[in-house]
Amino acid sequence: MAFEGLAERLQNTMKKITGKGKVSEQDVKEMTREVRLALLEADVNFKVVKDLIKRIKERAIGQEVMESLTPGQQVIKVVKDELTELMGGEQSRIAVSDRPPTVIMMVGLQGAGKTTTTGKLANHLRKNHNRSPLLVACDVYRPAAIKQLETLGTQLNMPVFSMGTEANPVDIAKQAIEKAKEEHHDYVIIDTAGRLHVDTDLMDELEQIKTTVKPDEIFLVVDAMTGQDAVNVAESFNEQLDLSGVVLTKLDGDTRGGAALSIKAVTNKPIKFAGMGEKLDQLEAFHPERMASRILGMGDVLTLIEKAQTNVNEKQAKELEEKMRTASFTFDDFLEQMGQVKNMGPLDDLLAMIPGANKMKGLKNAQIDEKQLVHVEAIIKSMTKKERQDPSVMNASRKKRIAKGSGTTVSQVNRLLKQFDEMKKMMKQMTNMQKGKKGKGMKFPFSF
Amino acid sequence: MGFMDKLKKKFIQNNQEEVTTKYKEGMEKTRKSFSGRINDLIARYRKIDEDFFEELEEVLISADVGVMTVMDLIDELKMEVKRQNIKDTKEVKDVISEKLVEIYYGEDDEEIEEINIKENELTVILVVGVNGVGKTTSIGKLAHQLKNDGKKVVLAAGDTFRAGAIDQLEIWGERAGVDVIKQHEGSDPAAVIFDGIKAAKSREADVLICDTAGRLQNKVNLMNELAKVKRVIEREIPGAPHEVLLVLDSTTGQNALNQAKTFSEATDVTGIVLTKLDGTAKGGIVLAIRHELNIPVKLVGLGEQMEDLQQFDANAFVYGLFADMLEEEEA
């Protein structure tokens, strides 16, 4: 599978090295190889990847493995931290000029989604900032581009300024500003024609528009699916126009969107908005952190890591380990563990977050019956203290009492007792196997 | 005689000077950076070692050749270098281009895949793709070329969703001098295509090209809508659509593979139109698409003019990438 996520890739590498207390250099080397592939498959530019990997190596080697994390997860965490850092904070502010109107210029390659984004941005300004924008149709080249903006204007019930396809874009922009002043629009959004960054004539035209109308913001609109070439595009536009921000479009697709990282790395300009659908209200503030996870293709494994960090108390985990080793695991411990797992959220969600879980046999379409867990809990809670500590005292009348108390049947009680017994045996075997090593990766030994 | 020389000779023989020039012009930027970097790489490394292969890997990845394809290619190169006992990096150049063409064609014969146009019956071409790749523009150019070839062409404005899409196709229709069948914005695309078929039949057209709205391949409903459009065509004309062309933007990265895969599942894509190859984007992902999904590229967009839609030729594609190197050698 060409597009498996980083988490899955690391999972495979990790199989060899789980149970280690420290991340060794060799581990890091193997894992950074996987990280590199994952980033490249996500379309992050290879130069950016190179720098990143260097920093990740430096940070990851020799790190203590956190109690609740496996070495693989630890590396993911370092990678994600690095990515998030590189992406910068959330910045969806739009400039406000002290001398209105504030002028925004939209630029980019053909088909990136400039016109649609122009409409979305206008809608955003009106809805969230109570502004009254004027849209300006400066794309005189593409057939029906003006018509497209006019249609969007009609849908939004907003004015569109156009002078047909014969006029010069620089003149159109200039006159639009005059018109906006006359009609008291506080924002002007200029939609320009899509152009290749290597087309010097058209790039010069953009520069002319810029010097004529002195925009407060110049947004580069980039298709989130862009590949390695994203750096060239962003670099050229930035060099010529000194961009103020980036809008990433078509992020509702299934691309990893590594272009976002490349663009940020080469221009150091913030990605401000993300296009999340075809409707005019589907423009969202850009979340760098979410993007980092997405580029790594690891679903919510980080959310899971964070949940594990907060919910599994380290001390409890240590005690549990000790109990497993000595096989003094009791129903009380069982209950406690169930509580911890439940604290982490619905089991279905939890399972979905575990990379590779959907590939495990039997788990693929497993419908986890939370009701069954409630039964188990009820049965255990109907036991006396003694019974919970030492299930061997169990006899027919005790079982009958427990069944009655928990609203279940004797056969259900029997099934639980049998499962618990088997589990204990298994744990003993496993801890024996791990002897000598510092037992790790056995946080939740129960398969529900 | 080296492989590149053979490639070159082939062009001169076939008298494809014009096509080659188009490729060379259109892909100038692509070529400069790509072959420049390979040349640089070869100049810097005398010995063929792991570092050399790693850098080569990066050069190929920078062309958006799929990561898996690159890995396969590098493995094969390593074997080839060992087998032929190549020591000099200069000799590797030949092997690289040879392998690139081989990856594209696989076991098949090297032949240029043409658009399947039926003689004496209506040919239906369905054009699909994600948003903003250049579907409508490509249709305009294709219509113009078919018209010049003496075909009677009808276009069906199946993009009833995007603002201005119908007008855009109409303008292309006017430029090319062909009829456009349309309904109003927001109407059912399948119904428009149905009208298009009826009109094409009654006007005794040779080719019907159906435009569709751009859609991201992970939108299940929209993909179902597309499958329905195809079913309508199948029902009205047995054996149609004769071509389902997926339009790909050459700036697209690895996601193009997903696009090819998902669109194929919905509509059995028969060929690819690779657009915007006149920028610095390399469109290397088409190698991966051919390699992994066996879908050939049929047309490439090398500029904004009506004539700038060319037949794809893998040899020319690779030749375009390496042309600088050849000429430097001769100089």
Domain map (residue ranges) of chain A: 4-86, 102-287, 311-434
Q: What is the identity of the amino acid at B193?
A: I
Q: What is the identity of the amino acid at B224?
A: N
**B164 lies within 8 A of chain A by CB:** yes
Cα distance between residue B26 and residue A341, in whole Å: 59
In a domain, B117, yes or no: no
Peptide bond into A101 cis (omega under 30): yes
Over the stretch A319-373, which tens digit does the pLDDT of each residue have?
Answer: 766 766 666 778 887 787 777 666 665 555 555 555 444 444 444 444 456 677 7
- B93-101: average pLDDT: 78
Model confidence at A132: pLDDT above 80? yes
Same domain, B188 and B286: yes
**Which range has the worst mean pLDDT, A77-81, A101-105, A398-402?**
A77-81
Same domain, B309 and B230: yes
Q: Which of A13-17, A67-71, A417-421 has maximum average pLDDT? A: A417-421
Q: What is the mean pLDDT of chain B?
A: 83
Residue with tokens 């009958």: A400
Q: What is the identity of the amino acid at B186?
A: G
Which chain A residue's Cα is nearest to B292? Answer: A2
Model confidence at B35: pLDDT above 70? no
Q: Is A43 annotated as a binding residue?
A: no
**Which range has the worst mean pLDDT, A56-60, A137-141, B283-287?**
A56-60
Please give the tally of structural domains in chain B: 2
CB A166: neighbour CB atoms within 10 A?
Answer: 6
Please say whether the beta carbons of A295 and A257 come within 8 A.
yes
* Closest by Cα among A421, A441, A433, A436 to A329: A421
Residues in A touching B278 (Cβ below 8 Å)? 196, 198
CATH 3.30.530.20 fits A102-287, yes or no: no
**B14 lies within 8 A of chain A by CB:** no
Same domain, B75 and B188: no
Same domain, B166 and B104: no
**How far A280 CA sits from the closest chain B CA (Å)?**
11
| β-pair partners for B127 | B245
Cα distance between residue A7 and residue A14, in whole Å: 10
**Which range has the worst mean pLDDT, A420-434, B149-163, B256-270, B316-330?**
B316-330
Residues in A touching B305 (Cβ below 8 Å)? none
Cross-chain CB nearest to B258 (options A111, A145, A254):
A254
* Closest by Cα among B227, B224, B260, B235 to B245: B260
Interface of B with A in 184-223 (CB under 8 A): 185, 216-219
In a domain, B116, yes or no: no
Q: DSSP string covering A229-273, please? A: THHHHHHHHHHHH---EEEEE-TTSS---THHHHHHHHH---EEE
Model confidence at B192: pLDDT above 50? yes
The predicted structure's pLDDT at residue B151: 94
* Closest by Cα among B279, B217, B287, B212 to B249: B279
Tokens of A363: 């788990």
- B36-53: average pLDDT: 72
Interface of A with B in 205-234 (CB under 8 A): 223, 225-230, 232-233
- A33-53: average pLDDT: 87
Q: Is B276 annotated as a binding residue?
A: yes
Same domain, B34 and B149: no
Q: DSSP string covering A178-223, please? A: HHHHHTT-SEEEEE-----TT-HHHHHHHHHHHHHH--SEEEEEEE
Cα distance between residue B286 and residue B318, in whole Å: 12
**How far B57 CA sits from the closest chain A CA (Å)?**
10
Interface of A with B in 140-199 (CB under 8 A): 142-145, 147-152, 155, 196-198
**Which range has the worst mean pLDDT, A91-105, B83-97, B301-315?**
B83-97
Domain at B99, CATH number: 1.20.120.140
Cα distance between residue A191 and residue A161, in whole Å: 10
Instruction: Kindly indicate the confidence band of residue B330, based on its pLDDT and cuts at 50, 70 and 90.
Output: very low
* Closest by Cα among B215, B148, B147, B150 to B180: B147
The predicted structure's pLDDT at residue B304: 83
Cross-chain CB nearest to B164 (options A151, A197, A198):
A151
Same domain, B305 and B172: yes
Cross-chain CB nearest to A250 (options B67, B131, B280):
B131
**Which range has the worst mean pLDDT, A48-52, A61-65, A189-193?**
A61-65
Same domain, B8 and B49: yes
CA gyration radius, chain A: 29
CB A11: neighbour CB atoms within 10 A?
Answer: 23
Cα distance between residue A228 and residue A244, in whole Å: 22
Q: Note the CATH number of domain A4-86.
A: 1.20.120.140
Tokens of A279: 């409707």
Same domain, B30 and B156: no
Which chain B residue's Cα is nearest to A258? Answer: B253
**How far A98 CA sits from the closest chain B CA (Å)?**
34
Same domain, B166 and B300: yes
- Quote the domain boundaries for residue B254: 123-317
In a domain, B134, yes or no: yes
Over the stretch A289-302, which tens digit does the pLDDT of each residue have?
Answer: 778 877 876 654 55
Instruction: Kindly indicate the confidence band of residue A436, based on its pLDDT and cuts at 50, 70 and 90.
Output: very low
- Residues 6+ away with beta carbon under 8 Å from B41: B52, B55, B56, B59, B89
The count of CB pairs under 8 A between chains A and B is 147
Same domain, B256 and B325: no
Q: What is the identity of the amino acid at A57?
A: K
For the beta sheet containing A283-285, the strands, ordered from the edge strand earlier in sequence to the opposite edge, are A160-161, A133-137, A187-191, A102-107, A217-223, A245-249, A271-275, A283-285
Model confidence at B328: pLDDT above 50? no
CATH label, A311-434, candidates 1.10.260.30, 1.10.540.10, 3.40.720.10, 1.10.10.10: 1.10.260.30
In a domain, B88, yes or no: yes
Model confidence at A438: pLDDT above 50? no
In degrees, rounded to 5, the angle at the alpha carbon of residue A53 between the alpha carbons of residues A48 and A59 is 130
The predicted structure's pLDDT at residue A22: 63
Cross-chain CB nearest to B67 (options A37, A113, A196):
A37
pTM, entire model: 0.75
In a domain, B118, yes or no: no
Same domain, B166 and B60: no
Model confidence at B2: pLDDT above 70? no
Domain at B273, CATH number: 3.40.50.300
Interface of B with A in 232-251 (CB under 8 A): 249, 251
Please say whether the beta carbons of A35 and A101 come within 8 A.
no
Q: Is A115 annotated as a binding residue?
A: yes
Q: Is B275 annotated as a binding residue?
A: yes
Same domain, B61 and B80: yes
Please say whether the beta carbons of B209 and B125 come within 8 A.
yes
**How far A116 CA sits from the closest chain B CA (Å)?**
9
Model confidence at A306: pLDDT above 60? no
Cα distance between residue A400 and residue A380, in whole Å: 13
